[in-house]
Amino acid sequence: MRRLLRLFLLLLVVGLGVAWLVLRPRPLPDDALAGMNGDASRGELVFWAGGCASCHAGENASGDEKLVLKGGQRFPSPFGTFLAPNISNDPDVGIGAWSDLDLANAMVRGVSPGGQHYYPVFPYASYAKAELQDVVDLRAYLATLPADPTPSGAHEVGFPFNIRLSLGGWKLLFLKDGWVIDGDLTEEERRGRYLAEALGHCGECHTPRNALGGMDTGRWFAGGPVPAGRGNFPNITPAKLDWSNSDIVEYLTSGFTPDYDSAGGHMALVVQNTAKLPESDRAAIAAYLKRVPVSE
């Protein structure tokens, strides 16, 4: 019996060791950003394209308040309620002490400066496709924004979803390289793809998810239930979105639809972001949307 117990404990230790090796956080190499210098003016465009203020500004913030990234907004989901953290320039409760590499690890690997997995409510499954120079530029811009001392709230996530190590398995399944829409794209369409699939993370809302919360890329942009349990995100493939390119550009500029309706809910915040991009970027997103396969 003692021999069997020792064997069991040995197998348990080995199993835990293997699980750690497979599921452990995998940050970028220390020299991943070698030679890169941040440009805050370019970083401002990355900031708006990435929708940082939409989640990390205070609830109902407007005007200059949207640049105070104190966090606190609540995001209910089937896995628990997640609270947007403070990513202001405060060195203690925000990210004021973060390096460029810290931000890059967070955005493209979903790994915190302390070496923990982030929950994918932070859309690193999309940001993983971002160019590292854009991340460095974003860090330079974030450093120009106000500090705020509001502490980040704790996520309200119960067992088993509070086991962070298990997120390593989620990443193995869903943190993928490569573009969803590939093929012979024009330069404008490639720019639109980068904005929509990576920085703008449009698929995070407009693509259905499976039982584990991974995006069903086979039904890219086909819409799906709102995680909070009320309503649906619309299908924005050509099956449902039959607007012209100029209609899409206008919507991403003013929020007005061809039917004289206007963007509401979180999409109104998205439009506030896209309106700050060059018109050529809004046109690129429109061109990309026309290349997305039809999905009902």
Clarify whether residues 120 and 196 are in a common domain.
no
Final residue of a structural domain among 174, 195, 227: 174
Q: Taking residues 51-64, what's their average pLDDT?
A: 92
Q: Which domain holds residue 114?
A: 29-174
Does residue 169 lie within any of the structural domains?
yes
Does residue 16 lie within any of the structural domains?
no
Clarify whether residues 130 and 213 are in a common domain.
no
pLDDT in tens, 104-113: 999 999 999 9
pLDDT of residue 14: 47
Clarify whether residues 111 and 242 are in a common domain.
no
- Burial class of 22 by CB neighbour count within 10 A (0 to 12, 13 to 18, 19+): exposed
3-state SS assignment for residue 275: coil
Percent of the chain with pLDDT over 70: 93
Final residue of a structural domain among 174, 205, 233: 174
Q: Taking residues 146-159, what's their average pLDDT?
A: 95
- Where is pLDDT greater, at 245 or 263? 245
Element (H, E) at 252: helix 245-254
pLDDT of residue 22: 59
Angstrom distances, CA of residue 123 to CA of 44, 127, 159, 214, 254: 19, 6, 22, 11, 25
pLDDT of residue 115: 95
How many domains, in total, are found in the chain? 2
pLDDT bin (cut points 50, 70, 90) of residue 17 is low
47-51, 63-67, 210-214, 292-296: range with highest mean pLDDT:
47-51
pLDDT bin (cut points 50, 70, 90) of residue 177 is confident
The pTM score is 0.91
Clarify whether residues 60 and 143 are in a common domain.
yes
Which amino acid belongs to residue 30? D
Final residue of a structural domain among 174, 206, 230: 174
pLDDT of residue 61: 86
